[in-house]
Amino acid sequence: MTAARGLLAAMALGAAASAATAAPDVLRGEQIYVRCMACHALASDRVGPRHCGLLGRRAGSVPGFDYSPAMKNSKLVWDEKTLDLFIKAPTQFVPGTAMTYDGVADAGERQDLIAYLKKAGQSDACKP
Ligand code: HEC
């Protein structure tokens, strides 16, 4: 009897754990962001522009960063949808972009990465 109850409890825990993975995982997103750090940082411009304040910002609008004409003229605003499309296939979504990077093919990884960018972009690291 106790063994059976233990098993049921374990099954319930397992179900809870797999339900939790459906929500974006900011910590996993932070690990995926390591790939972007080859060229980007949150608070400073490097090969790519800073990512502080990314969500809600117009594409190609960080003052002083030397964007490609394609990015400057894209008229995009970065939100979950546009970021998902861009990060999936940068050179297809913005033809002519200077971001020569293959992209992140896995939809779940993109979701976690965007959740991280959203949170990190408003974090203390981004406060002046
Ligand atoms: C090989 C270097 C490189 C890598 C790796 C890279 N980027 Fe970029 N990124 C750039 C460059 C260069 C630009 C400017 C593009 C332009 O002007 O066309 C850019 C631009 C961007 C922009 C537009 C920002 C703005 O201000 O409009 C976003 C968003 C972005 N990158 C996200 C990412 C994410 C997320 C990753 C990781 C999955 C990543 N990048 C990986 C080089 C890189």
The total number of structural domains that make up the chain: 1
pLDDT of 74-123, one tens digit each? Answer: 999 999 999 999 999 999 999 999 999 999 999 999 999 999 999 999 89
Which residue's alpha carbon is nearest to atom 39 within ligand 1? 36
pLDDT of 21-75, one tens digit each? Answer: 578 999 999 999 999 999 999 999 999 999 999 999 999 999 999 999 999 999 9
Residue whose CB lies within 8 A of the most ligand 1 atoms, among 31, 34, 37, 40, for a mutation test:
40
The whole-angstrom separation of Cα 49 and Cα 99 is 10
| Domain boundaries, position 80 | 24-126
Q: Is residue 15 part of a domain?
A: no
Which CATH number fits the domain that encloses residue 85? Answer: 1.10.760.10
The whole-number pLDDT of residue 128 equals 81
pTM of the shown model = 0.87
Are 120 and 30 in contact by the 8 Å Cβ rule? The answer is yes
The three-state secondary structure class of 77 is: strand
- Which is more confident, 14 or 102? 102
Angle of helix 80-88 relative to helix 107-120, nearest 10 degrees, comes to 130
58 Rama class: left (phi>0) / alpha (psi -120 to 50) / beta? beta
Q: Is residue 6 part of a domain?
A: no
Q: Is residue 72 part of a domain?
A: yes
